[in-house]
């Protein structure tokens, strides 16, 4: 066996370094770490581990301001997914929820079906690699203008990719969100979230240990798909975006299902020391992370890696992002036992190396050492940048906003606009019921029963990018608060969040200012609401020169929230229950029209500051709402968001097919009262016999309550001074349900 020779200078040229996404300064750090020039394999490994996607080199500094601890947090950021205590399950077993959200943005733009499908597959592996059975998927999607020539293709591919993978693997898709804006024309966002449940004493971590222990590869064979996927995800799009298709992985959900079952079966034994999925940067990141966390080294024999293509090089095997693969460290002597399980499930199983005490990654291929590098620099000494940043200028206050001419007509228009129209065409393609524990979808938060109990997980994904663009700090606060509000609105206690931070090029000071501002706002909200962040993902360089002008996405810090409701019998949804019920607005009101959907869609103006988030009022009102639901006083509840009170009322009415008469005088002008997007505000119906108790408790909690009207049969009527404006539920339903089928045309038949 021969040792690695120092690479000739002619091999690693400045052009090759640049192709690997490393700056000159970063390459100098590689030289310093090695004490020599790298060969191509070593350069490739440094390149992916130091990519933005893997190292968070532009954001790590600012992520530290996020609160990550609470008494119910079992494991915060740093593992494959976050872990929280969710109380007891069947037989009194202590359970944990394990969850995370990740991005697959660039791959989904290049190849929408496989990009979205493998995004789902990857986040599933992050969760079950920790010992959890996945119980729910959610997603957060951002598209460009619906009439953009490419958008129909992108929407169709992404939705079918999510459904094609999620439905086949047998995990219900229970919630999500969709936004449209021209800023996403050349760079759509596909964020996927998975929530799983595990017993607290059966959680698996990724730190390798035990010198001499076998390193085992399981799952699918390694191919040439996805090479440089992590590097591609860490750069903006040029004109050659279509040429990057080979960097997109190809997924197989049926193999993923087998992998889930095989892993969970092996996890029921005592054979596993550590386990890690092969996600971004594939075998490189999984092996480096396992060894680094355990403070050990590793020696891998590349000839033993299961390969589906002939003549693969060590470089290709280490950088491939082929899907449905895991890396494990087993206890010695348990190889045959583990192999039998994986072979039963018709999956590859191979011992490909051993744990060492060298602190180095050594790769052997065809009898030669093709890589020999210290692990510490790869994980611990990755570049860390304090990028220059400038705060986003504050938006001027709104002026010259005309009053609405017809509140019912404006409402009808809004219900058919891209950001508010029914997502039925999308969610009907997702299997939301597989597993038989899904209790509620289509409300503020999805509810999935904790199996064998009358308790449930509540979950929601949220972000309002236009708010973040106008004021990153307030937008960051709002994104966190919205998930907290949605979970509270069903009667559940919000516990923790995951995030997926989608931004443009951090090397632009104004973009870096958006990142810093959003993180500041998020941190404020997490602290005020006692709502820590336990996992997450950062996706930068989301901009495209392909659309002309280097357009950047809106800052989009997507938030996924998880909570628990102790008694499913007390959960409420958004639909009215019967006619004659009193409708109340609960929370602080201000009639805020800045950055509202009404202002944009009716008047064509994207102006003004976003609605401020008063975190003390948010906490006070949400705690009261949650208490009132669990007391049995509230029969329907929906938080006010896009489109203001009018759209909230319409959504409650359409869900139940029960209308509402708005008869009470409102505190502001008509447009401000009904289309203002005030934060921390809920619309509720309260049972008549409970009303006195409800109002008394609200007064003691210092929570304002305004009467709105009563539920009626089949229309929404606004009784205003001088005239009544009304629209039937049938008219609203037609425009609300018509947007996606009209947009997708023949594709709608696939739903």
**Residues 461, 177 contacting (CB under 8 angstroms):** yes
CA distance 500 to 374: 31
The tokens describing 48, both together, are 């992916």
- Distance of alpha carbon 109 from alpha carbon 173, whole angstroms: 21
The count of C-alpha atoms lying within 13 angstroms of the C-alpha of 216, restricted to the half-sphere facing its C-beta, is 27
CA distance linking residue 100 with residue 134, whole number of Å = 11
Cα 12 to Cα 254: distance, rounded to the nearest angstrom: 41
CA distance 552 to 189: 12
* Residues 6 or more apart whose Cβ sits within 8 Å of residue 505: 236, 511, 540, 541, 543, 552
SS3 content of the chain, % helix, strand, coil (to 5): 40, 25, 35
- H helix runs in 665-728, sequence order: 670-675, 691-700
Question: Which residues carry out catalysis?
Answer: 53, 104
Beta pairing, strands 533-539 & 723-728 = unpaired
Residues with Cβ < 8 Å from 563, sequence gap 6 or more? 445, 457, 458, 459, 487, 488, 492, 493, 494, 495
Tokens of 98: 């394990």
Give the Å distances, CA to CA, from 461 to 36, 140, 389, 497.
47, 7, 28, 9
Q: What is the dihedral of CA 282, 284, 286, 289, to 10 degrees?
A: -150
In the chain the first and final C-alpha atoms are separated, in Å, by: 58
């Amino acid at each position: 066996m021969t040792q690695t020779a120092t690479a000739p200078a002619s091999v690693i040229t400045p052009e090759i370094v640049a192709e690997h996404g490393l700056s000159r300064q970063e390459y100098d750090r590689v030289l310093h770490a090695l004490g020599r020039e790298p060969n191509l394999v070593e350069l490739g490994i440094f390149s992916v581990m130091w990519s933005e996607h893997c190292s968070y080199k532009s954001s790590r500094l600012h992520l530290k301001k996020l609160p990550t601890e609470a008494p119910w947090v079992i494991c915060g950021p740093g593992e494959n997914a976050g872990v929280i205590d969710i109380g007891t399950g069947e037989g009194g077993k202590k359970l944990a929820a394990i969850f995370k959200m990740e991005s697959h943005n660039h791959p989904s733009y290049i190849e929408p079906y496989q990009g979205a499908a493998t995004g789902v597959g990857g986040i599933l592996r992050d969760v079950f690699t920790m010992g959890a059975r996945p119980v729910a998927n959610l997603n957060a999607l951002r598209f460009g203008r619906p009439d953009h020539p490419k958008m129909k293709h992108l929407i169709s591919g992404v939705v079918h990719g999510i459904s094609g993978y999620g439905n086949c693997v047998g995990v219900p898709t229970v919630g999500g969100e969709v936004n449209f804006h021209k800023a996403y024309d050349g760079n759509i966002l596909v964020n996927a979230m998975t929530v799983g449940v595990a017993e607290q004493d059966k959680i698996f971590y990724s730190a390798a240990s035990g010198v001499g222990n076998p390193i085992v590869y399981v799952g699918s064979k390694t191919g040439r798909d996805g090479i440089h996927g992590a590097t591609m995800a860490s750069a903006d799009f040029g004109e050659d975006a279509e040429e990057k298709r080979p960097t997109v992985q190809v997924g197989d959900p049926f193999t993923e299902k087998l992998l889930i079952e095989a892993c969970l079966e092996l996890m029921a034994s005592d054979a596993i020391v550590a386990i890690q999925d092969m996600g971004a940067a594939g075998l490189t990141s999984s092996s480096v992370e396992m060894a680094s966390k355990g403070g050990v080294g590793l020696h891998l024999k590349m000839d033993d890696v299961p390969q589906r293509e002939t003549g693969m090089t060590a470089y290709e095997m280490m950088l491939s992002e082929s899907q449905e693969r895991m890396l494990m460290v087993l206890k010695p002597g348990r190889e045959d036992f583990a192999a039998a399980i994986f072979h039963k499930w018709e999956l590859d199983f191979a011992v490909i190396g051993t744990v060492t005490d060298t602190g180095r990654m050594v790769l052997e291929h065809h009898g030669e050492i093709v890589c020999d590098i210290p692990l510490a620099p790869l994980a611990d000494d990755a570049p860390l940048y304090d990028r220059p940043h400038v705060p986003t200028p504050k938006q001027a206050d709104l002026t010259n906003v005309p009053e609405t001419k017809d509140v019912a007509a404006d409402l009808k228009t809004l219900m058919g606009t891209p950001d508010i129209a029914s997502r039925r065409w999308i969610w009907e393609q997702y299997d939301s019921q597989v597993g038989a524990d899904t209790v509620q979808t289509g409300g503020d938060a999805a509810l999935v029963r904790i199996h064998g109990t009358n308790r449930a997980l509540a979950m929601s994904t949220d972000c309002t990018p236009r708010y973040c663009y106008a004021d990153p700090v307030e937008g960051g606060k709002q994104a966190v608060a919205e998930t907290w509000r949605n979970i509270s609105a069903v009667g559940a206690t919000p516990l923790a969040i995951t995030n997926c931070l989608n931004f443009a090029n951090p090397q632009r000071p104004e973009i870096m200012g958006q990142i810093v501002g959003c993180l500041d706002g998020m941190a404020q909200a997490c602290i005020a609401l006692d709502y820590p962040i336990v996992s997450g993902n950062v996706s930068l360089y989301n901009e495209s020169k392909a659309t002309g002008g280097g357009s950047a996405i809106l800052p989009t810090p997507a938030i996924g929230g998880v909570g628990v409701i102790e008694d499913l019998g007390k959960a409420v949804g958004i639909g009215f229950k019967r006619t004659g019920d009193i409708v109340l607005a609960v929370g602080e009101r201000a009639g805020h029209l800045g950055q509202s959907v009404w202002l944009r869609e009716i008047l064509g103006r994207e102006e003004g500051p976003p609605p401020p988030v008063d975190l003390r009022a948010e906490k006070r009102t949400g705690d009261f709402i949650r208490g009132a639901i669990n007391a049995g006083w509230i029969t329907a509840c929906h938080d006010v968001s896009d489109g203001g009170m009018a759209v909230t009322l319409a959504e409650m009415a359409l869900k139940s097919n029960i209308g509402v008469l708005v008869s009470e005088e409102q505190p502001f002008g008509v447009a401000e009262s009904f289309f203002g997007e005030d934060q921390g505000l809920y619309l509720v119906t309260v049972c008549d016999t409970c009303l006195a108790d409800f109002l008394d408790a609200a007064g003691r909690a210092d929570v304002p309550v305004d009467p709105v009207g009563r539920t009626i049969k089949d229309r929404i009527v606004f009784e205003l001074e001088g005239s009544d404006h009304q629209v039937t539920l049938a008219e609203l339903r037609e425009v609300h349900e018509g947007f996606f089928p009209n947009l997708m045309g023949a594709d709608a038949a696939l739903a």
